[in-house]
Structure 1
Amino acid sequence: MRQKPFFRQLLILFTLASLVAGCSGTKNIPIDALSSQRITSPKTAEHLLAEAAAAHFPQNIALKLQASELLMVTDKKRAKILLDSIDYDSLPENLKVTLALSQARVADSTEKNADVFNWLDREAIINSSDPNTVAFAHILRARAYNRYTEYAASLDEWLAAMPLLTPEQQKNYESGFWQTLLRVPLDRLQSLEHEIPSGAIKGWLELAILYQPGNNPSEQLVGFQRWLQQWPGHPGSAYVPGNLEQLLTAAPPQRIALLLPLSGSLAIAGQSIRDGIIAAHYQALHNGEKTPELLIYDTGSDDVAHLADKAIAAGAQLIIGPLSKDNVSRIQTDISARVPVLALNYLDNQTVTTGTQLYQFGLSTEDEARIVAHRATLDGHKRAMVMTPDSSWGKKVASAFEQAWVQSGGEIAITSAFNQETAFSKLSAQLLQINQSQQREKQLSKLLGESLGFRARRRQDIDMIFIAASSGDARQIKPALAYQFAGDIPVYGTSSVFSGTTDAVQDRDINGIRLPVMPWSVPGYASPLEKNIIQAWPQAKGTYGTLYALGADAYQLYPKLQQLSNLPGSQIKGLTGWLSISADHRVDRQLVWQIFENGQMVPLPVKQPYKQNANLAITKNKA
């Protein structure tokens, strides 16, 4: 929130400088002039627009740009329309810079990463030697890369921007810079820390390294205390918790109870999770770490509350489980008030009771749907077609996607549900309105009395497709879409699109599908723990493989629950994703984005070549 005043201040200065430069050739105000003053215009947006209507080119454009900056505060939609009405190509160079930065800022405020990069990739920005322009462009790119979870690239942009800002200006960006540092891989932080001999940046890097939850708590405490002594007055001091000893010296539990369904309908799932926990336990033993005693209880054969009481009576200091939502709900009040509980599912729209120690961790496809909606928004898409199974699972996933999509400003063009009897080519034709196109051709041919040599056209108001489907269904849906002239529309899916086993022949049919997956599923990832799990349980590469990963990550989380909860922004690398804990004690997973190419998953590029759908774009009128 602290970043907005400086963004506004900087852009107003760009606009004022551009107006002066347009008249007399005066250079832009140097960035040092921004350090202490707040620039405001005595005129309203309406006054500026009235002046623009009476002014000649290019002064009228500079006035419009200044008006758009004021409108960004009161009417962002109108500001965007005003900016879109200005023809970029007809502008002098200095106003091209101002328009590009203004458009990029609008895109940043609405998290349209594709538009941010599109505007910042203009020659006027790239070739600029003005420090204001350079600093602002680096900051906007850093924020966009951060939203893409490309933290190393984001850090590079921050490091390029910060030296161009005064210490006073840097305060506006400390929070964003810090959040990026916390998510940069440790080896990158350590490499930079060794390269930088001194200065505030080195202090930031050292603090971010200390924040890594993999550190021993007692060593971490000593490290924080030493850092405070070595860096008195450093701005990073604000991010060092005041009650360090209380936060970092609590002893990890010595006895842990596993409450899992080892019999009944969920037996295979429960056994897979248990085996993942055991694998992580023996990996820790092999690494020479102190390990707790494990008490294992079967929730498939006894009441979960009774088992939890029994476990506590036996000395359990923490519970991992249960798995089903009903069982999590049953123990979330009484049991979690007595010992910490790392539940392996999420409560549906329930607020966790105050004073309890319930942590929620699971593999939610609904969360994946929300992640897809966010990524598609970042990629610049606006209108979606949704295809999900006609089942309770499919309806939940569709609802999660649609809510997140609309909340981010997107529109749903059409939705559909399919089942085992669905003919996907026919369904795709209906959704894409191919039938109407063919019907129009027949009517025209009949009217003219001759064949038109017509080729059917799909509807043009869709720029992305979301599917939640099994690998088998996805292999039918993607070719059906291509057959019905939609092969050029980006398709996003949930991780269920991937079968869990690489099959380059069959998976050629899903080439082009973008999907978020856990590191466990990424080809070539294979951490030592994953290799051990697959060696001991070869079936872990099948349908239930992700549950082995869930169990392993639950075990890796248990000693770090307090650290992750009390050091905001910290995270650990797990088999199910980069794991962090939110304020409401939910374990959040950052997934890895992949795209199918030649039947195999490969990393999805951050910056796609920019293509604007003419049917979706707002018509631009020359000023």
Structure 2
Amino acid sequence: MQRVLLILSTLFALYACAPAQVHQRPAHKSSVVRPAAPVAKTVIPAPVTASIKAPALVSVMPVIDQPALVLDNAPHIALLLPLQSESFGVAANSVQQGFMAAASLDPQSLPVRVYSNFAENNSVAAVYREALANGARAVVGPLTRNGVKALAEVNNFPVPTLSLNILEMPPAHNLYFFGMAIDAEARQVAQLARQQGLQQAIVISANESLARRLQFAFEEQWIASGGSIVREIDFNGDPAVFADLVATPDNMVFFATSVEKTQQIHPFLPKELAAYATSQIFVGNDQKLINYELDGIHFIDMPWLLQPEQPAMLAYPRANPPLSTDNERLYALGLDAYRLTQLLLAEQWSALPLDGATGHLHLDHSVFRREALPAVFMQGHAQTADAPVTATEPMFPVQTIAPSAVPETTDSTIPQ
């Protein structure tokens, strides 16, 4: 009996020393990444303009077809981009990053759903109808000119639709166009040069489709503005064609050529000859050697690249890792596309014109026109034309040699 009592007392002591078990309620795993509830009134997010510190680089990861983020038939903004295209996937991803970066600053707006599994030239209409059936309250895209042509054939746009390329066509209800057509830049350059009192233009082009587009757009606007074309030069690699060019107070040269060809040509032109080009010759202010070779050339480009320290630009996150200059332009296109989408949803026409990341934007019938910033290359640095000359470190600093370090000259060392 004593042995039994001893065993029972031992077991009781062990039980008393054991830690108590706490039964916790399991955490709920939410599948909602972003609030999807729409608000009664859509407000266009405008960049903050006071006391802004530069934000840290924000990684904006690609988002491809996310039906899990938005319930079926839930209100959303549909973003139609060819992310899976071998030819346009990189460009589309840059636009998407910019669009999502702007959306991240506006959490109370409609969520964004990306549609990417389509071919822009033959199935974009079907994807557009799918987005509407899924509850889209606005549609943004497609990106390519062929895709926009295919979309325009739908003929019925029940929700605001912002295509990311420009077609000159009769307006259709709810269909709008916004893009960065290089032709429009050539026309703006022609207007800019005429406003500065220049009358005669020398156009330098090349046997390339883009160069021809720029040439024709510039010449059309130049002549319509009262200017005259005194010479057209096709550059084929031989600088001798520029030997007889002279500078006069009222003439100028327009480069329809690529940055590489413009680099080759510019040193052979008279320094006094006013020179103009589009944004295609600007590859970034980190490319100082290229910029030095383009010194003095006037061009136009967007605030996102020319004024990165302005408060309106600092309001937006930058892509991480950084993008190439061309893809930064597409990122800025995405930023402005989001702002314009909010404007269309709210029908806040009084917000126009507006200053965006890509330029000064205004609505011309169904086309959002973009006016870029005038700029000039100065001492290896691209800056806005009205800015003071930016002091930069010389590419090839002058070395000063102390007198004591100069060897004495003798007859044997004097060149004969």
- Shared fold by TM > 0.5? yes
C-alpha distance in 2 between matches for 1:310 and 1:370: 38
Equivalent position of 1:550 in the other structure: 333
Equivalent position of 2:33 in the other structure: none
Return the TM-score normalized by structure 2. 0.69
Return the TM-score normalized by structure 1. 0.47
Equivalent position of 1:528 in the other structure: 314
Q: Supply the AA of the counterpart residue of 1:370.
A: R
C-alpha displacement of 1:541: 3.7
Secondary structure of the corresponding residue to residue 109 of structure 2: coil
Equivalent position of 2:390 in the other structure: none
Q: Deviations over 1:536-589 (max 9, x none)?
A: 231x2433221111111111110112667743x82222111122212x211111
- Does residue 350 of structure 1 match 2:169? yes
C-alpha distance in 2 between matches for 1:492 and 1:337: 40
Q: Supply the AA of the counterpart residue of 2:198.
A: H
Q: Deviations over 1:356-414 (max 9, x none)?
A: 21110001111001100111110001000011232121111111111110011000011
Query: Which segments of structure 1 move beyond 4 Å, counting only runs of 4 or more?
Result: 212-215, 459-462, 562-565
Change (3 A) 1:324 1:600: same
Equivalent position of 1:361 in the other structure: 178
Secondary structure of the corresponding residue to residue 595 of structure 1: strand
Equivalent position of 1:580 in the other structure: 362
Q: 1:402 aligns with which of 197, 219, 241?
A: 219
Q: Supply the AA of the counterpart residue of 2:355.
A: K
Change (3 A) 1:263 1:295: closer
Q: Supply the AA of the counterpart residue of 2:293.
A: D
Equivalent position of 2:253 in the other structure: 465
Q: 1:571 aligns with which of 338, 341, 353?
A: 353
Change (3 A) 1:519 1:461: closer
Equivalent position of 1:559 in the other structure: 342
C-alpha displacement of 1:459: 7.2
C-alpha distance in 2 between matches for 1:340 and 1:402: 35
Give percent identity, aligned residues only: 29
Preserved contact between residue 166 and residue 178 of structure 2 (Cα < 8 Å): yes
Preserved contact between residue 201 and residue 253 of structure 2 (Cα < 8 Å): yes
Preserved contact between residue 501 and residue 541 of structure 1 (Cα < 8 Å): no
Preserved contact between residue 263 and residue 293 of structure 2 (Cα < 8 Å): yes
Q: Supply the AA of the counterpart residue of 2:314.
A: P
Change (3 A) 1:501 1:461: closer
Equivalent position of 1:612 in the other structure: none
- Does residue 372 of structure 1 match 2:178? no
Secondary structure of the corresponding residue to residue 284 of structure 2: coil
Change (3 A) 1:384 1:564: farther
C-alpha distance in 2 between matches for 1:387 and 1:341: 38
Preserved contact between residue 359 and residue 373 of structure 2 (Cα < 8 Å): yes
Q: 1:261 aligns with which of 75, 82, 101?
A: 82
Change (3 A) 1:292 1:459: closer
Preserved contact between residue 564 and residue 581 of structure 1 (Cα < 8 Å): no
Equivalent position of 1:317 in the other structure: 137
Where structure 1 has 5 or more consecutive residues not aligned to the other structure, the ranges are: 1-211, 216-252, 433-457, 607-623
Which has the higher relative contact order, 1 or 2, with Cα contacts under 8 A spaced 6 or more apart?
A: 2
Q: 2:242 aligns with which of 401, 408, 428?
A: 428
Q: Supply the AA of the counterpart residue of 2:202.
A: M
Q: 2:275 aligns with which of 491, 495, 502?
A: 491
Secondary structure of the corresponding residue to residue 537 of structure 1: coil
C-alpha distance in 1 between matches for 2:247 and 2:297: 20
Preserved contact between residue 332 and residue 352 of structure 1 (Cα < 8 Å): no
Secondary structure of the corresponding residue to residue 288 of structure 2: coil
Change (3 A) 1:549 1:596: same
Preserved contact between residue 160 and residue 345 of structure 2 (Cα < 8 Å): no
> Relative to total residues, which structure has the larger strand share, 1 or 2?
2
C-alpha distance in 1 between matches for 2:281 and 2:194: 20
Secondary structure of the corresponding residue to residue 533 of structure 1: coil
- Does residue 303 of structure 1 match 2:123? yes
Q: 1:507 aligns with which of 287, 291, 316?
A: 291
Q: CA RMSD in A?
A: 2.6
Change (3 A) 1:599 1:581: same
Q: Supply the AA of the counterpart residue of 1:604.
A: A
Q: Supply the AA of the counterpart residue of 1:499.
A: V
Q: 1:604 aligns with which of 375, 382, 385?
A: 385
Change (3 A) 1:459 1:297: closer
Where structure 2 has 5 or more consecutive residues not aligned to the other structure, the ranges are: 1-42, 47-73, 388-416
C-alpha distance in 2 between matches for 1:324 and 1:309: 18
C-alpha distance in 2 between matches for 1:296 and 1:388: 39
C-alpha distance in 1 between matches for 2:162 and 2:194: 32
C-alpha distance in 2 between matches for 1:310 and 1:524: 38
C-alpha displacement of 1:522: 0.5
Change (3 A) 1:408 1:588: same
Change (3 A) 1:214 1:256: closer
Q: Deviations over 1:445-495 (max 9, x none)?
A: xxxxxxxxxxxxx375961111123332222222121xxxx2101101101
